[in-house]
Amino acid sequence: MFSLKIIIASTRPGRKGPSIGAWIHEVAKQHGAFEVTLLDLAIINLPFFDEPFHPRLQKYQHEHTKNWSTVIDNADAFIIVTPEYNFGYTAPLKNALDFLYNEWNYKPIAFVSYGGVAGGTRCVQMLKQVVTAQKMMPVTEAVQIPFFTTHFNEHDVFVANEGIQKSAEVMLAELEKWAGPLKTMRVKNKY
Ligand SMILES: Cc1cc2nc3c(=O)[nH]c(=O)nc-3n(C[C@H](O)[C@H](O)[C@H](O)COP(=O)(O)O)c2cc1C
């Protein structure tokens, strides 16, 4: 089994991220290839990046960084659940990414994005640029949810339609495909 961490990228009070996160968490568990953990950046509550050294050196000064490092180091794959804010990624997500470097390396990453007409895709395009700098492999298959508010029921629970459900299953299959080969690449460099 691969360790899959799902990261909820929005932190504001009243946000919709956790409802969509809860849905993809269930779908990922059903998939069967992953030990799945849901991580909420609002709960993890990292401060603005406050380490004096480049994360590549792993000379972490703060407990919050050491804890975040342990959580991310333990992962074989990621799913980011994200809205787009002003056509881009959320500040808490970029901050959480910047805290670490080696812990992200050679791991596949997939995106569940939501928004208006663009379904959060402009944020995902921006994120791909960032995560490849961290040597992650963004998988092509994704879940994009345009006009996402139409998929919430009267109890404010996200309910996926058939197309969204199918796209999640295809994305998870692709994530699994990358998780094995990339694991073999995570050997310590001898130089
Ligand atoms: C600061 C901010 C910027 C936003 N910018 C966009 C945007 O560029 N595109 C979009 O589709 N929706 C945008 N929205 C609307 C969000 O899609 C909607 O508020 C969504 O619920 C945000 O996700 P969250 O509830 O998990 O925070 C924006 C919302 C906020 C709060």
Domains of the chain, residue spans: 2-185
Query: pLDDT means per 10 residues in the chain (191 residues)?
Result: 98 98 98 98 98 98 98 98 98 98 97 98 98 98 98 96 98 98 83 59
CA distance linking residue 120 with residue 37, whole number of Å: 23
**Atom of ligand 1 minimally distant from the CA of 88:** 8
Check pocket membership of 119 for ligand 1, CB cut-off 6 A.
no
For residue 92 and ligand 1, the question of a CB distance below 6 A is answered with no
19 Cβ closer than 6 Å to some ligand 1 atom: no
Assigned CATH topology for domain 2-185: Rossmann fold (3.40.50)
Q: How high is the pLDDT of residue 187?
A: 78
pTM of the predicted model, to two decimals?
0.97
Distance 85 CA to ligand 1 centre (A): 5
